[in-house]
Structure 1
């Protein structure tokens, strides 16, 4: 027995040794080749391909197509982030890559430079594809090139060449990819899926280089060659998009019809998108509109299309807008919005169109709200975003002034009413307010009652307490069978509604108990402030009676009218609206400063509209009643007005700016105030406001400057000067805030300052001239001088170019005695940075105290 066991052991050992040596990766035998091939294909590569397909599926599911642009051939989102060695975006592709590497390392049979395992080329192909979808394109290219170099006779050679060109295309080598794919098609003449893959890849490369005609040819071949229905539907859809881009709508519709014919063989998103694209191409002049609308309605009613109602509603709205049925279009645009679509471009278009519709009918406030919503659905700082933002910003002023005009008009109308009319007006308002509160209280009470009953029913159903009398087998959860719930319901009814008779319209009874609902039943929910709103006397007390207050409201209203007239005329070219606002202004006893500009603007509008009679009336009125005005001079002598006129706003501004450069800040401020009033409504006004702010800062310091700049930014937000002021507030103003002094001893740039309190300009100029001559005689060419205004009562003569505070403090000592006496007057030395701080914050006294 023992001998027999020994024989079995020896035989087993021999067989094991034979298998081990026979399956060696370095042994080119039938057993070895087939062992490694089978193990590679049905074990390692099988699991690798499963991981690869799982990763590719998750990639496709995560990708969101943008149907507003030509779809990419391949559904893959290219990310900008850099992937470092050893990192991965997708664990499934990492696993697939590991399996491919394992197949090569453990089952590769590279003997004397030749691979004997026929599955290793499959492993390299899987390796390259895994890296490709993991967006590591350079390593992927290496894997595909290795197949082409090592396995030229491989059955996967065509796929390797196609994937290599796909990778080249991702590396933005589109021309190279096109060249190599053309060579492949000419040399090999691939069929079936290889042909579909090659031509679709070439089509994408042509799209990338904007050669849409060539892309169209290739995508047509791919759509015919592929056996994958999903790809077929996508390729035909892209074909339709390419035709649309080339403005061939008839051919595009034929391509979209092919997508529609595939019906349930493709994802429904392609099907509905094809219907939508055809709807966009509908010919409203020659097409059957009734049939087209019925088709859209059929799509709308199909239950399977519910996930796509956002686009269907949008197309129905587009139909109605084309038919000038704006009210129905508005309904369907809002329906599209209420679907809460994930398509932000669609939502932005819905909001923008609604904004434009309201803009066109002069409902600027609502238009502004729609534009606000539009921007929330757009990529911030993109070109479309900036266009909408500018359009929205242009509405800021008109919305503000329309609000002011509306409110002030309402107040002034109440002021004009008699006491009886006022009381009646507010009685009607309070009655309406009470009805609204009753309706809201009723809604809340019913909602609360439903919640209580639902809670009770739920609890009673669990413990079977809702049971009818009689047979327990017929137990019911109907709440009327529970005495406790019925009693509770009766008490709640009495608490909310009072003791009502069983009659029609019982809620609107006039009995004292019925009216209790409106007055006292919810008193506990009304705070004293809310109760005031139901008191007519409260409103009557708010009406202004003081003449100064009424006059102020009237002036504010009139100014709003004037601004609205200018905005409608200049920004929106809405001349009827502008005329209405200017006319309203002139009919409401405006300030004198607004009358002439309003009439002149009316005249210019009538000129634009070709209304000669009105132009002549206003022209004669302005020339006769305001002969000394700038407007009368322009109208009397138009030729001279075309030339540069010293009295023109531009010339006056230039002269004022010259005074600013000459540091005549006090005069500049006074003149800016004067010209702002004189040229009220002219586009030059913001320039004067900004110039005044600069002059205020130079004369009065940082805090006054900051306040003045802020006023320009707020009051003229939509002008170039307002934008500049806001930019100053956002950036440079922060660098001026620090008012602390640094140590002069460490400074390498210093100045010498001579103070002249309330001195005449002649005296200052004379001293500066003497100082310049002295410096020149002493041959100190590195020094220069300037006159700097510090405040309206103090001016500095400053010497620049000193390199230390000691040199600045001993400035006169550097001159010989025969020159020194010429400039012998009090001065002080200061570092350049501290001098800048003194001028910005006007804190010379603080600096001198710390010396």
Structure 2
């Protein structure tokens, strides 16, 4: 029945609000449904409907949310308070839909409708952030100034001041903003937020191209007391970025890890975590290339050149170590003098105040600089320099972690401390001399370069850097297989965006690898920017598929070829190509099917059909390593006692595949039609017929 107690409506509203806050959105919708059923005539129903729009917005059903807000605006008489609430949620929904310009208009409306100062301040702050993202710095600055004026929250006041400074973007503005922020950070309660002001100054300096100054401000931000974990994490992130730009991947990764450990905002944390993982993968290849390049360069030097090179290195090492030792001695003397003229509470000698004053000194350990210095020295004696991280005693693989420089030295294979480090022979005897070992180093280096180029494109979409890395590899004359892969990657990355970069790769492939599928691909690469599939094309595909199912391969192939020619940009083209490969497998030969699948992999690598073609290829054409392993594991004695019947080359390819290693069954792969056997054998053994209408593997790949 209907509810007449008006207070029940308020109770339902509290329930709805609490469930929204807890993230129980479906339960909140159920509560709203109960309100509609039990109190259909209540004047406050529009408020429940506003909450319904908010819930759909949070559920990412932005279209449904917009329909609700539109209905409220047109068909309901809303109070001023209801309009104020709805305007904020409507703007939020538009932001979720990435319609930022429309969201700005609604926020302006929300600013007028909402009366509380704090709400006005937050609306103005949000509007300023959106305008800054859109590049409207003047308007953004005005909005942040408004947020600052209306704010009665110290935290928002500080954030608004920082955002005001960040809207300046030239040298003149930078100097003014810098002066303003440095002055304000010294005033009263603002001093507790120095780390945030320094972070903002770092961003300003970076924006005006002052990289070194920016880095100094970010470092200062880290040294100050933490007031906002997110700002601390972002300071680590920015320093990591500066190291990344210099290709100092070990330090970049370390700072990204520090950022991840501090930041609490999940999307930002996940983004930096992924970046950190990618950096570590790049770092592994980058430093391997640098190390092997150094060794290979040494193998080309004469004995005299090597002696001169390492003698110079030894002299520099001695000079460096002498400076470090001198600095240590000076530090030791300084500490001894400090100890001589300073007396702590544990000393036997006590001055007048110690003996006769009732006041006692500060016994807190970290308040006494001398005890802290002693403790730090003792710590270093046992543990050396440690990075602040989880499980700091042990790093990866149970090895003690060292400083960032130690990690870099380890990656590059440098010797940090050894009794023989001042002998030339200590270095020269480690240089490989055998041709096999030198070729092994070069192959390892070339493989790492190929992976590095691929990673630059995959992880960071940095096509110019990826192209340069791969062309450097090609110029270094690697093995044919690696060279072909590098040239193919260069061409596939550039042929649509920058054809002039792809042209050289194309010409080398055609000249040096004319009989490969790659040569066919570079001569006629397919366009992968497909349009949405039309209904007519879908019907054509279904018709071709039905004919294939009926074993009318010629008719099916004609329809496929016509469709590919008539609708080259349709989204179903990769599907047509895959169907054509299966038709070839059924009607012609396994070799031709393999060639067709290879073209699909090259042309449509990132589509589902490209991935499916790759999976079938891996099954049909086992790798050399896999074949070698299987050959090695054969029982030769059994083979002699029970010789296997002779098989054709194609049959052997299929038999040698380990069925458990693939999701596609052996008997379900299209094979060549077997040769006709003599009539006498046909009488003894009936030919096995392929089941129809359609095989399970065909459904898996062609549906």
Match in the other structure for 2:230 = 343
- Measured in 1, the distance between the counterparts of 2:441 and 2:193 equals 49
After superposition, give the CA deviation of every residue in 1:663-722 in whole Å (9 maximum; x if it has no partner). xxxxxxxxxxxxxxxxxxxxxxxx9x984323323422499xxxxxxxxxxxxxxxxxxx
Q: Does 1:645 align with 2:514?
A: yes
Q: Does 1:781 align with 2:687?
A: yes
Match in the other structure for 1:293 = 178
Q: Does 1:317 align with 2:202?
A: yes
* Residue in structure 2 matching 1:254, options 142, 150, 153: 142
Verify the 8 A CA contact 1:145 1:164 in the aligned structure 2.
Answer: no
* 1:319-398 equivalent positions in 2, closer than 5 A: 319-336=204-221, 342-343=229-230, 346=234, 349-351=237-239, 353-359=241-247, 363=248, 393-394=281-282, 396-398=284-286
Task: Go from structure 1 to structure 2 and tell me whether the alpha carbon gap of 1:457 and 1:690 turns closer, same or farther (over 3 Å shift).
Answer: farther
- Measured in 1, the distance between the counterparts of 2:627 and 2:29 equals 62
Task: Go from structure 1 to structure 2 and tell me whether the alpha carbon gap of 1:777 and 1:449 turns closer, same or farther (over 3 Å shift).
Answer: farther
Match in the other structure for 1:614 = none
SS in 1 for 2:77: helix
After superposition, give the CA deviation of every residue in 1:31-70 in whole Å (9 maximum; x if it has no partner). xxxxxxxxxxxxxxxxxxxxxxxxxxxxxxxxxxxxxxxx
- Measured in 1, the distance between the counterparts of 2:312 and 2:431 equals 24
Verify the 8 A CA contact 2:148 2:161 in the aligned structure 1.
Answer: yes
Verify the 8 A CA contact 1:131 1:137 in the aligned structure 2.
Answer: yes
Q: How many residues are treated as equivalent by the alignment?
A: 477
* 1:115-130 equivalent positions in 2, closer than 5 A: 115=4, 121-130=9-18
Task: Go from structure 1 to structure 2 and tell me whether the alpha carbon gap of 1:558 and 1:306 turns closer, same or farther (over 3 Å shift).
Answer: farther
1:231 Cα offset (Å):
1.3
Give the structure-2-normalised TM-score: 0.50
Q: Does 1:137 align with 2:28?
A: yes
Task: Go from structure 1 to structure 2 and tell me whether the alpha carbon gap of 1:773 and 1:130 turns closer, same or farther (over 3 Å shift).
Answer: same
Task: Go from structure 1 to structure 2 and tell me whether the alpha carbon gap of 1:143 and 1:734 turns closer, same or farther (over 3 Å shift).
Answer: same
* 1:80-229 equivalent positions in 2, closer than 5 A: 115=4, 121-134=9-22, 135=24, 136-142=27-33, 144-145=35-36, 148-149=39-40, 151-152=42-43, 162-163=50-51, 166=54, 169-170=57-58, 172=61, 173-183=64-74, 187-188=77-78, 190-191=79-80, 193-229=81-117
Verify the 8 A CA contact 2:239 2:252 in the aligned structure 1.
Answer: no
- Measured in 1, the distance between the counterparts of 2:101 and 2:229 equals 32
Verify the 8 A CA contact 1:140 1:167 in the aligned structure 2.
Answer: no
Task: Go from structure 1 to structure 2 and tell me whether the alpha carbon gap of 1:406 and 1:268 turns closer, same or farther (over 3 Å shift).
Answer: farther
Q: Does 1:400 align with 2:284?
A: no
Match in the other structure for 2:156 = 270
The gaps in structure 2 that reach 5 residues or longer are 363-415, 457-462, 495-503, 521-588, 593-617, 636-656, 668-673, 691-703
SS in 2 for 1:316: helix
The gaps in structure 1 that reach 5 residues or longer are 1-109, 480-531, 609-633, 652-658, 663-686, 704-731, 738-748, 751-767, 785-851
Verify the 8 A CA contact 2:420 2:426 in the aligned structure 1.
Answer: no
Verify the 8 A CA contact 1:128 1:143 in the aligned structure 2.
Answer: no
1:470 Cα offset (Å):
11
Task: Go from structure 1 to structure 2 and tell me whether the alpha carbon gap of 1:302 and 1:777 turns closer, same or farther (over 3 Å shift).
Answer: farther
1:259 Cα offset (Å):
0.3
Task: Go from structure 1 to structure 2 and tell me whether the alpha carbon gap of 1:541 and 1:327 turns closer, same or farther (over 3 Å shift).
Answer: same
Task: Go from structure 1 to structure 2 and tell me whether the alpha carbon gap of 1:578 and 1:413 turns closer, same or farther (over 3 Å shift).
Answer: farther
1:178 Cα offset (Å):
0.4
* 1:219-618 equivalent positions in 2, closer than 5 A: 219-244=107-132, 247-263=135-151, 265=152, 267-284=153-170, 288-302=173-187, 304-305=189-190, 309=194, 311-336=196-221, 342-343=229-230, 346=234, 349-351=237-239, 353-359=241-247, 363=248, 393-394=281-282, 396-406=284-294, 416=304, 426=314, 429=317, 432-433=320-321, 436=324, 457-458=344-345, 467-468=350-351, 473=356, 535=419, 539-540=423-424, 542-544=426-428, 549=433
Q: Which has the larger radius of gyration?
A: 1
Verify the 8 A CA contact 1:775 1:781 in the aligned structure 2.
Answer: no
Task: Go from structure 1 to structure 2 and tell me whether the alpha carbon gap of 1:271 and 1:291 turns closer, same or farther (over 3 Å shift).
Answer: same
Task: Go from structure 1 to structure 2 and tell me whether the alpha carbon gap of 1:250 and 1:468 turns closer, same or farther (over 3 Å shift).
Answer: closer
Match in the other structure for 1:684 = none
* 1:701-850 equivalent positions in 2, closer than 5 A: 701=633, 774-782=680-688
- Measured in 2, the distance between the counterparts of 1:647 and 1:142 equals 65
- Measured in 1, the distance between the counterparts of 2:71 and 2:339 equals 71
* 1:22-101 equivalent positions in 2, closer than 5 A: none
Task: Go from structure 1 to structure 2 and tell me whether the alpha carbon gap of 1:439 and 1:122 turns closer, same or farther (over 3 Å shift).
Answer: same
Q: Does 1:694 align with 2:593?
A: no
SS in 1 for 2:229: coil
1:552 Cα offset (Å):
7.2
SS in 2 for 1:343: helix
1:187 Cα offset (Å):
2.4
After superposition, give the CA deviation of every residue in 1:515-541 in whole Å (9 maximum; x if it has no partner). xxxxxxxxxxxxxxxxx9574587455
Instruction: Say which is worse superposed, 389-398 or 223-232, in terms of deviation.
Output: 389-398
Task: Go from structure 1 to structure 2 and tell me whether the alpha carbon gap of 1:474 and 1:275 turns closer, same or farther (over 3 Å shift).
Answer: closer
- Measured in 1, the distance between the counterparts of 2:99 and 2:309 equals 74
- Measured in 1, the distance between the counterparts of 2:355 and 2:192 equals 47
Verify the 8 A CA contact 2:236 2:259 in the aligned structure 1.
Answer: yes
Task: Go from structure 1 to structure 2 and tell me whether the alpha carbon gap of 1:276 and 1:734 turns closer, same or farther (over 3 Å shift).
Answer: farther
Give the structure-1-normalised TM-score: 0.43
Task: Go from structure 1 to structure 2 and tell me whether the alpha carbon gap of 1:424 and 1:478 turns closer, same or farther (over 3 Å shift).
Answer: farther
Verify the 8 A CA contact 1:125 1:143 in the aligned structure 2.
Answer: no
1:400 Cα offset (Å):
0.7
Verify the 8 A CA contact 1:203 1:219 in the aligned structure 2.
Answer: yes
After superposition, give the CA deviation of every residue in 1:72-120 in whole Å (9 maximum; x if it has no partner). xxxxxxxxxxxxxxxxxxxxxxxxxxxxxxxxxxxxxx9xx885x7755
Match in the other structure for 1:815 = none
- Measured in 1, the distance between the counterparts of 2:296 and 2:220 equals 36
Superposition CA RMSD, Å: 6.2
- Measured in 2, the distance between the counterparts of 1:320 and 1:773 equals 88
After superposition, give the CA deviation of every residue in 1:382-403 in whole Å (9 maximum; x if it has no partner). 7786677557645543321102
After superposition, give the CA deviation of every residue in 1:196-247 in whole Å (9 maximum; x if it has no partner). 2233233334444455454433332332233322211111122223444555
- Measured in 2, the distance between the counterparts of 1:547 and 1:246 equals 57
Task: Go from structure 1 to structure 2 and tell me whether the alpha carbon gap of 1:368 and 1:735 turns closer, same or farther (over 3 Å shift).
Answer: farther
